[in-house]
């Protein structure tokens, strides 16, 4: 599960607007529009696929920054992706990185519990670049 629609719970089908490149050719009979090829590579399908993948990855990476506040609905909505089932723009990643975990531990407690390990680490670093001494 990479994205979820908060309105209907759909996490499979979505819609996105992307720009793709097509080729136009002038012929004696008129203008034809077809897929654009460059060095045997289909640019039309490549730009479409990469556009969709880029937007999905961007929304997942940016998390809250990819959302904008909708004053009418009083909720956050995605600026890029729409749910293909209900048409809602309330699409986001299924979890939020900033939400605190249930067993929340303060930084002070965490440092105190890891103090011994840190001492061992410093000790390792202190003697890491010296050869053992024979006595």
Q: Which residues bind other proteins (CB under 8 A)?
A: 1-3, 11-26, 30-31, 33, 36, 48-49, 51-53, 56, 84
Question: Alpha-carbon distance 89 to 61, whole Å?
Answer: 18
Question: Alpha-carbon distance 3 to 21, whole Å?
Answer: 27
How far apart are CB 32 and other proteins at their closest, in Å? 11
How far apart are CB 57 and other proteins at their closest, in Å? 10
Task: Label the pairing between strands 91-92 and 81-83.
Answer: unpaired
How far apart are CB 35 and other proteins at their closest, in Å? 11
Strand (E) or helix (H) holding 30: strand 30-35
Q: Which residue number, 8 or 53, has a Cβ lying nearer to other proteins?
A: 53
Q: Classify residue 6 as exposed, middle or buried by CB count within 10 Å of its CB (0-12, 13-18, 19+).
A: middle
Q: Which residue number, 49 or 61, has a Cβ lying nearer to other proteins?
A: 49
Question: Alpha-carbon distance 124 to 104, whole Å?
Answer: 30
How far apart are CB 10 and other proteins at their closest, in Å? 10
Q: Which residue number, 94 or 109, has a Cβ lying nearer to other proteins?
A: 94
Q: Which residue number, 17 or 110, has a Cβ lying nearer to other proteins?
A: 17
Question: Alpha-carbon distance 94 to 120, whole Å?
Answer: 38
């Amino acid at each position: 599960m990479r994205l979820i629609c908060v309105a209907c719970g759909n996490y499979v089908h979505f819609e996105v607007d992307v720009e793709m490149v097509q080729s136009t050719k002038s012929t004696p009979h008129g203008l034809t529009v077809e897929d654009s090829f460059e060095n045997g590579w289909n640019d039309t399908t490549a730009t479409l696929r990469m556009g969709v993948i880029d937007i999905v990855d961007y929304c997942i990476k940016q998390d809250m920054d990819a959302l904008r506040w909708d004053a009418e609905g009083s909720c956050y909505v995605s600026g890029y992706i729409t749910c293909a089932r209900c048409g809602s723009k309330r699409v986001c990643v299924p979890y939020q990185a900033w939400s605190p975990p249930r067993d929340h531990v303060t930084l002070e407690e965490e440092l105190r519990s890891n103090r011994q390990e840190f001492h061992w680490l410093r000790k390792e670093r202190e003697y890491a670049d010296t050869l053992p001494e024979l006595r």
